[in-house]
Structure 1
Amino acid sequence: MLKNYFKIAWRNLIKNKAHSVINILGLSVGMAVTILIGLWIWDELSFNKSFANYNRIVQVMQHQTFNGVVGTQNDMPIPMGITLRQDYKADFKYAVLSSWTGDHILTYRDNKVVQNGNYMQPEAPDLFTLKMVEGTRSGLTDPRSIMLSASAAKAVFGNADPINKVIKFDNAYDLKVSGVYENFAHNSELREVAFITPWDLYVDSEPWIKRASTRWGNNSFQIFAQLNPNADIDKVSAKIKDVKLKNIAAQGDKVGATFHPTMFLQPMSKLHLYSEFKDGVNTGGAIEFVWMFGIIGVFVLLLACINFMNLSTAQSEKRAKEVGIRKTLGSFRLQLISQFFSESILTAIFSFIVSLLLVQLSLNWFNNIADKTLSVPWQNPLFWIGGVVFSIITGLIAGSYPALYLSSFRPVKVLKGTFKVGRLASMPRKVLVVLQFTISVVLIIGTVVVFRQVQFTKNRPVGYNRNGLLRIDMRTPIIHQSFDAVRSDLIRSGVVTEMAESGSPLTGVWSNNSGFEWRGKPAGLQDDFGTIPVSTQFGKTAGWKIVQGRDFSKDFLTDSSAMVINEAAAKFMNFKNPVGEIVSNGKKYTIIGVVSDMVMSSPYDPVKPTLFPMLNQRGVVVNIRVNPNVSMHEALAKIEAVFKQYDPSSPFGYIFSDEDYAKKFSNEERIGNLAGFFTILAIFISCMGLFGMASFMAEQRTKEIGVRKVLGATVLSLWQLMSKDFVVLILISLFIAVPIGYYFMNGWLQDYKYRSDLSWWIFALTGLGTIAITLLTVSYQSIKAALANPVKSLRSE
């Protein structure tokens, strides 16, 4: 019986080729989208699960209350890590201090490469259960050692065995390779870590690290930990919540209602998906996008299923006699339902096969957009079992309404020729078309709003000129030691107009300080300023805008104890005329100028109050303003030649400031691109359904159109007649979709402090575009029917 069902289903597919192609293509596109989204969601939900002790690994974090506002951060003081290791051994198996990931120069013989890595304490390899390729996890016990990822070892040594070989680290230290580990998974917090060096090397190489080792107020590090098997994360968080508060008060720092640090543990399972906090409460994170794309996947598949339902029920008159004869010959309704379900399942299976081909062809492109390394698990039996189940469920959903509808026909009316589907029979199809385009319009509105928000923020005035601005990270002190000579040579070459050092790049604030005093500071006010030491030439290099006072100058020796502040800092200190005011933090600084607010951190947030004192040590970056009258290719070649002349041992690398700034939008742009991609496919699927429906209606109304043409109807009037029904349905969809789109996107925009508005033209343009797409889709069939020779359509009877 089952074999017979599928045999008849196959014959029906072959008989109605156009109908079958539309159904299979529509379903396959919908299933391909669902598979891609499913792979993406699985990757997101598997984030950090590559670590063997995933369920017990935590990151130490803190809530800090500043003037009644609670902020959350994972920046930690060194003494916190020491305290956890010494005083809470019963709760923690490991507590590991770590630097932030940064790039360093690794040199072996004549090969110099730049790789990202961290300084970590010796227990880090055991904490993160490194999968060793060579060596053991105890490789960080020697302070002059280094552990490399497999890719870093390949980059440095090629195919040679790296174990026990000595490399030069930042042209300053000889380190012995003690181990090679498999690259961290792409979907893990440590995916950029290509090497790990001992924490003791960090302490020995940087004097400020030694000073920070006892300071509870210096939050410049990370702490990862692993709980003991019997430890409860909530109870341990409660134990350690006041550790910093007590110790920072003991060191004499001010604490109280305006500044109150609270420590807590964030499990690794939440580091990626639940990374956002507001007022000390976890409000979500990437999990929101998981839900969003999951819903989009369901809707896109639903659109494809609606196409199947519509086209199948539209063919009802053609299948009516078949149903009548089958019932007359003794078929039960259940048997007819099984027959129609077998057709839909067969269609779904064919669609699944085509969808796999579409997924494989689009996977590289999809990975580039999504920043993933997804692949189809061809050899995983669970994937194939899931695929079969997925196809059957899709087939059952798509075939449910047609099976129930077609099997309900009464054989007496059908065979006597009195059967008519009636006007109400088309109502469910119209409802489904409205539902299709309601979903599509909401997706269009959402995509437009996301792209507009990104563009709106990109166009935000940043307070300096990014064009022609280069950033070069200083990994060695050589350029700093020869700064004046390097600057003179570059300016003399004509390719550079100015050059400066700074403690942070123009696209980030890497240092924050508090405890400043100034005239009129309210009692109990807790300050927190971004602090960026700069050299004299920084303002001219960046192109910042002086609104009060003056810029730094070598003509004033007193500028060594001066600072420039931004407008946000002047407002925070409540200075109307800040120039000449004294600000102190152990050292007294005189404010000599105020600059326009520069967007250096998140472009979606207000500008942070920032101080720019004079640089009295090596900066971390060199900023270079390229001559706008010189080609960038020529400029880079000459800049590299000068840098190589003074520092031949370091690889030359640079970052364009405008490209570095653009990276701040990468997450929103990635989400927008994915949403746009899925929206286009949703519209495509919906239009395929309209095309099929228009084709069927044109076929049904062939004789009517012939009569109208004989009576003098024009092609334009016939086109209007065929198109108006669809336009009415689209208008109903717009009436439903616009309020829904407004509600959800207005809520999404509220998460951004600097945001665009929901202009009326977004909805108007979406509506006009949807109507235009609809008319284009149905016009081919409408005009084709209108142009047909009426003699052929009328002579059949």
Structure 2
Amino acid sequence: MFENYFKIAWRTMARQKMYSSIMVGGFALGLATCLVIFLYIRHELSFDKSYTQGERIYRVFNDYRGPDGSRWTSMPPMVAQIMKTDYPEVEKAGRLVPQKWQQAGSNLFRREDQAENLYEEGFVYADNELLDILEIPFVSGSRETALAKPNSIVLSKRMADKYFPGEDAVGKTVILNENKTTPYVIGGVMANFPSNTHLHYDFLLTLTGVEFWPGEQTSWCCWNYDTYVRLKPGTDPVALEKKLLTIRDTYMMNYLKETGDPGAAEAKTRYFIGLQPVKNIHLDPEKVSDDMHRGDVRYIWLFGSIAVFILLLACINFINLSTAKSANRAKEVGLRKVVGSVRGYLIRQFLTESLVYSVVSFVFGVLIVTLAIPFFNSLAGTELSIPWRTVWFAPSLAVAALVIGIFAGLYPAFYLSSFKPAEVLKGTVSKGSRSSGLRSALVVFQFATSIVLIIGTFIIYKQMNFILHTKVGFDKDQVVMIRGANTLGEQRTTFKDELLQLSEVEDVTLTDYLPVMGTNRDQNTFWKEGKTREDRGVPGQFWFVDTDYIRTLGMKVFEGRDFDKQLASDSQAVVINQAMVKSLGLKKPVGERITNSYTVFTVIGVVEDFNFESMKGAIGPICLTLGKGGSIAAVKVNSRNMGGALVSLTKVWNKFMPHQPFRYSFLDESYARMYEDVSRTGKILTCFASLAIIVACLGLFALSSFMVEQRGKEISIRLVMGATTGSIFQLLTGNFVKLVLIALVIAAPLSWYLMQRWLEDYTYRINVTWDVFVVAGVISVFIALITVSYQSIRAALANPANRLRSE
């Protein structure tokens, strides 16, 4: 019986090639999109789930529950040791310094026995205990002792293979930043971190014997350490969080009282310590601030919803085309019932056809995914792959094909099997009109979904364009950032002077701090002089710059003056931004004296606020002061011939550092990378919106073809009676245009609400204006017209005699 069902289903597909192709094509695109999104969601949800003792691994975070409440991970260096010794619930505790600070971040790197340096990123400081807590697998060396000795380093396998091909790297010596006085010895080689972990480092530098300044390791003022703990089995983390308040009450409060911090009383009631499960770090439901790239659970919901909607669009195509062609199947149903076929058999027949369509579509869908995965990976910055080796994957595909086939075919099966033989044989069954209302509603749903995606894409791109082109308080164009300037040592000033001699160079500044990602940050607390025991401190950035910094970056001095290299007193001077002026309550800031509790500075100038972090947050207070050194030479180029300027810069660099590669990047590109997540979301949404439109248009094209076929004689009579080509075109397309306009009316308020919620993340954002909806509506109507116009124009230009000859 079922063999007969499959034969009939296959013959039906072969007879109706165009409709079958559209149904399979739409289904395959929808299924491929769903599969890609499923792989993406699976990857996002799998982060940090591979630890064998993952349920007991936590990251410690600060929880300030004040009016401007915030959560952050950086802790004082002593917290890990205190947790190990004072809390029996803690089995192990270890530290990480993820900030781009000291040698964490990026460095010049070479073997001791080679002269050529290479620039590498992915350095981080870590305790030896952390290796065991996070169960980092080793391919060479011992995890128990790899970072136990001073000046030891652990390399990832890819870096060990790069620098020591065919050799055992353990025990070899490497040099960082040409610092030959402090060589590092490789204590072990770890496996490469997988893509689904919150840690992505290639070099682990030991914290054993490290003290960044005298007394730093026992200080409570240095908050730079992320602390991880593994709890003993059976420990209640909520109960332990309550016990951790003794760290605040015993240690932190003593420090605040000793320094006379006026916030001590407030900290007693509003500062808490929390434990974040390591498996939650990537999607971060606790909203803990850190320096790591994280995912966003809202994107999982967004893309998951898109997958469901696109799959629904594909199913709608099947339902629409199946019911629209009901008149063509009516006689078949009537005759089958006359010869004794019962409704149950007919339902199984039509469901079998649906299953055949579903299975064939799945085969093509998987093929599309195989071809599209590399493109999606480059677009989304992921490393997805089809998990063929996973036991459950292939059976899951088979079950999904079965379920989706039944779901899509259920309504058409019951609808087509409901025809009565007498009505069919008398010719009283209308040509699909019984379900025309449903078909119209489904077309509206298809285009409403597509329009929401179109509007969302437009708004994301408008916000991205606003971010990249709005005034940010500094000039990011035509600025080249030369990396590794710190390795020049005492030659830095001479190097800078030679750069300034180039005709293409306008200005140069040496610094570690720039208003883009990948450069240093240094958080301090500031007070007016004499107010440290009275006022609550103002948290703000503290950047060391040179006298050419403000001019090179084109910042505007709003009040007072810039730094002057001729004035020795400027060594104790600061230039602050308007946000710092407001936060400190300085009515006449120039000449005021402020302190960070270590040094008192005189304010000599105020610069206009400039964005040094993401526009998702408000511009914070910042304080610029003069400092020596700097690993970045930021060069303002005055020539539009950037290629020629780079050649000149390279020549000067090679003159000073012939064995070190010339490494550079552009300030504007580094600024744009701060918003890579927004850009990627826009690109992904564009792809999904395009797929949704394609699937919807495939169905619309097939429906218009069927409509022309069903109304062929009517069109011919109208043409004989004098109807014009334009009036026939309007007749055939008018209803579809109405449906698209109804879809626009439904989609506009929904997309407005959704995008307003998305824009709430940004302190600086666009206003959603009416023109976005007009453009989306025009595009949707245009696409609909293009889709149905081929069949409509063809029908209007056809010779009516061909259709009426048999009448």
Change (3 A) 1:370 1:285: closer
Aligned twin of 1:487:
496
- Kindly indicate whether residue 191 of structure 2 is the aligned counterpart of residue 182 of structure 1: yes
Quick check: 123-132 or 510-519, which moved more?
510-519
> Per-residue displacement from partner, 1:493-514 (whole Å, max 9, x unpaired)?
3343322233422325601111
- Kindly indicate whether residue 319 of structure 2 is the aligned counterpart of residue 309 of structure 1: yes
- Output aligned runs, 1:412-561, within 5 Å: 412-421=422-431, 423-474=433-484, 476=486, 478-507=487-516, 510-518=521-529, 523-561=534-572
Change (3 A) 1:102 1:422: closer
- Kindly indicate whether residue 334 of structure 2 is the aligned counterpart of residue 324 of structure 1: yes
Rounded to whole Å, the distance in 2 between the matches of 1:481 and 1:76 is: 35
Aligned twin of 2:379:
369
Aligned twin of 2:150:
143
Three-state SS of the structure 1 residue aligned to 2:106 is strand
Tell me how far 1:89 sits from its aligned partner.
4.0
- Kept in 1, the 8 Å contact 2:522–2:542? The answer is yes
Rounded to whole Å, the distance in 1 between the matches of 2:56 and 2:647 is: 50
Three-state SS of the structure 1 residue aligned to 2:591 is coil
Q: 2:576 aligns with which of 558, 565, 583?
A: 565
The one-letter code matched in structure 2 to 1:551 is: D
Aligned twin of 2:297:
287
- Kindly indicate whether residue 242 of structure 2 is the aligned counterpart of residue 238 of structure 1: yes
- Kindly indicate whether residue 10 of structure 2 is the aligned counterpart of residue 2 of structure 1: no
Q: 1:166 aligns with which of 166, 169, 173?
A: 173
The one-letter code matched in structure 2 to 1:32 is: A
Three-state SS of the structure 2 residue aligned to 1:709 is helix
- Kept in 2, the 8 Å contact 1:63–1:262? The answer is yes
Change (3 A) 1:524 1:552: closer
Change (3 A) 1:242 1:510: farther
Rounded to whole Å, the distance in 2 between the matches of 1:220 and 1:94 is: 16
Change (3 A) 1:433 1:82: same
The one-letter code matched in structure 2 to 1:442 is: V
Three-state SS of the structure 1 residue aligned to 2:119 is strand
Change (3 A) 1:114 1:629: closer
- Kept in 1, the 8 Å contact 2:431–2:710? The answer is no
- Kindly indicate whether residue 208 of structure 2 is the aligned counterpart of residue 196 of structure 1: no
Aligned twin of 1:155:
162
Rounded to whole Å, the distance in 1 between the matches of 2:232 and 2:119 is: 37
Tell me how far 1:202 sits from its aligned partner.
3.9
Alpha-carbon RMSD across the aligned residues, in angstroms, is: 2.2
Tell me how far 1:247 sits from its aligned partner.
1.8
Rounded to whole Å, the distance in 1 between the matches of 2:651 and 2:344 is: 82
The one-letter code matched in structure 2 to 1:742 is: W
- Kept in 2, the 8 Å contact 1:241–1:264? The answer is no
> Per-residue displacement from partner, 1:272-308 (whole Å, max 9, x unpaired)?
112563999xxx9611111111111000000000000
Aligned twin of 2:614:
602
> Per-residue displacement from partner, 1:145-194 (whole Å, max 9, x unpaired)?
22211111122123333232222233223222232221001121112x00
Aligned twin of 1:23:
23
> Per-residue displacement from partner, 1:197-241 (whole Å, max 9, x unpaired)?
2112543xx3x3x43212222212211222222222222222214
Rounded to whole Å, the distance in 2 between the matches of 1:622 and 1:148 is: 25
> Per-residue displacement from partner, 1:598-618 (whole Å, max 9, x unpaired)?
111112221111111121x43
Three-state SS of the structure 1 residue aligned to 2:612 is coil
Three-state SS of the structure 2 residue aligned to 1:197 is strand
Aligned twin of 1:76:
75
Q: 2:782 aligns with which of 763, 772, 776?
A: 772
Rounded to whole Å, the distance in 2 between the matches of 1:582 and 1:244 is: 31
Rounded to whole Å, the distance in 1 between the matches of 2:128 and 2:530 is: 48
- Kindly indicate whether residue 730 of structure 2 is the aligned counterpart of residue 725 of structure 1: no
- Kindly indicate whether residue 362 of structure 2 is the aligned counterpart of residue 359 of structure 1: no
Rounded to whole Å, the distance in 2 between the matches of 1:57 and 1:472 is: 40
> Per-residue displacement from partner, 1:673-695 (whole Å, max 9, x unpaired)?
11111111001100111000000
The one-letter code matched in structure 2 to 1:389 is: V
- Kept in 1, the 8 Å contact 2:473–2:611? The answer is yes
Rounded to whole Å, the distance in 2 between the matches of 1:452 and 1:291 is: 22
Rounded to whole Å, the distance in 1 between the matches of 2:712 and 2:532 is: 85
Three-state SS of the structure 1 residue aligned to 2:624 is strand
Aligned twin of 2:12:
12
Quick check: 402-411 or 225-234, which moved more?
225-234
Quick check: 303-312 or 235-244, which moved more?
235-244
- Kept in 2, the 8 Å contact 1:444–1:679? The answer is yes
> Per-residue displacement from partner, 1:585-637 (whole Å, max 9, x unpaired)?
3322111111111111112221111111121x433x32322332263333333
Rounded to whole Å, the distance in 1 between the matches of 2:289 and 2:548 is: 39
Q: TM-score scaled to structure 2, two decimals?
A: 0.93
Rounded to whole Å, the distance in 1 between the matches of 2:533 and 2:776 is: 52
- Kindly indicate whether residue 131 of structure 2 is the aligned counterpart of residue 125 of structure 1: yes
Q: 2:394 aligns with which of 366, 369, 384?
A: 384
> Per-residue displacement from partner, 1:35-65 (whole Å, max 9, x unpaired)?
0000000000001223333322221111235
The one-letter code matched in structure 1 to 2:241 is: S
Quick check: 340-349 or 321-330, which moved more?
321-330
- Kept in 1, the 8 Å contact 2:73–2:289? The answer is no
Query: What are the ranges of 5 or more consecutive residues in structure 1 without an aligned counterpart?
Result: none
Change (3 A) 1:78 1:526: same
Aligned twin of 1:106:
109
Tell me how far 1:758 sits from its aligned partner.
1.2
Change (3 A) 1:651 1:213: farther
Rounded to whole Å, the distance in 1 between the matches of 2:22 and 2:210 is: 64
Aligned twin of 1:96:
95
- Kept in 1, the 8 Å contact 2:30–2:311? The answer is yes
- Kept in 2, the 8 Å contact 1:62–1:263? The answer is yes
- Output aligned runs, 1:773-788, within 5 Å: 773-788=783-798
- Kept in 2, the 8 Å contact 1:5–1:339? The answer is yes
Change (3 A) 1:639 1:242: farther
Rounded to whole Å, the distance in 2 between the matches of 1:526 and 1:557 is: 28
Query: What is the aligned residue count?
Result: 785
Tell me how far 1:419 sits from its aligned partner.
2.3
> Per-residue displacement from partner, 1:476-521 (whole Å, max 9, x unpaired)?
5x43522221111111233433222334223256011114224889
Q: 1:214 aligns with which of 205, 213, 218?
A: 218
The one-letter code matched in structure 1 to 2:74 is: D
Tell me how far 1:639 sits from its aligned partner.
2.8
- Kindly indicate whether residue 678 of structure 2 is the aligned counterpart of residue 674 of structure 1: no
Aligned twin of 1:47:
47
The one-letter code matched in structure 2 to 1:189 is: H
Aligned twin of 1:62:
62
Rounded to whole Å, the distance in 1 between the matches of 2:409 and 2:369 is: 24
Quick check: 425-434 or 234-243, which moved more?
234-243
The one-letter code matched in structure 2 to 1:689 is: G
Rounded to whole Å, the distance in 1 between the matches of 2:363 and 2:594 is: 70
> Per-residue displacement from partner, 1:452-488 (whole Å, max 9, x unpaired)?
2222222231111111223344485x43522221111
Change (3 A) 1:71 1:490: same
Three-state SS of the structure 1 residue aligned to 2:78 is helix
> Per-residue displacement from partner, 1:726-757 (whole Å, max 9, x unpaired)?
11111211121112112222222223222211
Rounded to whole Å, the distance in 2 between the matches of 1:249 and 1:55 is: 31
Tell me how far 1:358 sits from its aligned partner.
0.9
- Kept in 2, the 8 Å contact 1:61–1:74? The answer is yes
Quick check: 724-733 or 248-257, which moved more?
248-257
